[in-house]
């Protein structure tokens, strides 16, 4: 069950926008950190643990990183 925290908090419109912007920034930062970790060949399970991102998201980031680095889509994963 997904909890909508903005509904539970009684915030004015400006505060809600601030919370949403901070969430988007934090999520983008997590993806950037995960991409940098994967570029240094850290294991995927360790990247999942450190960043808190779901495994599926980390695997997608891994595919993006390897296809960007190699210029191909048929790059083998770390596993």
Domain boundaries, the chain: 29-71
Question: Which residue in 62, 55, 54, 70 sits closest to 38, CA to CA?
Answer: 62
6 or 51: which carries more pLDDT confidence?
Answer: 51
Question: From the DSSP assignment, how many helices (H) and strands (E) are in the chain?
Answer: 4, 0
Q: pLDDT by residue (tens digit) across 15-72?
A: 878 877 777 777 778 888 899 888 888 899 999 888 888 999 999 999 888 775 554 5
């Amino acid at each position: 069950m997904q909890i909508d925290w903005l509904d539970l908090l009684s915030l004015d419109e400006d505060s809600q926008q601030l919370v949403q912007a901070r969430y988007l920034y934090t999520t983008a930062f997590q993806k950037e950190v995960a991409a940098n970790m994967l570029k240094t060949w850290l294991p995927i399970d360790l990247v999942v643990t450190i960043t808190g991102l779901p495994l599926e998201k980390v695997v997608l980031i891994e595919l993006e990183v390897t296809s960007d680095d190699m210029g191909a889509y048929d790059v083998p994963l770390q596993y």
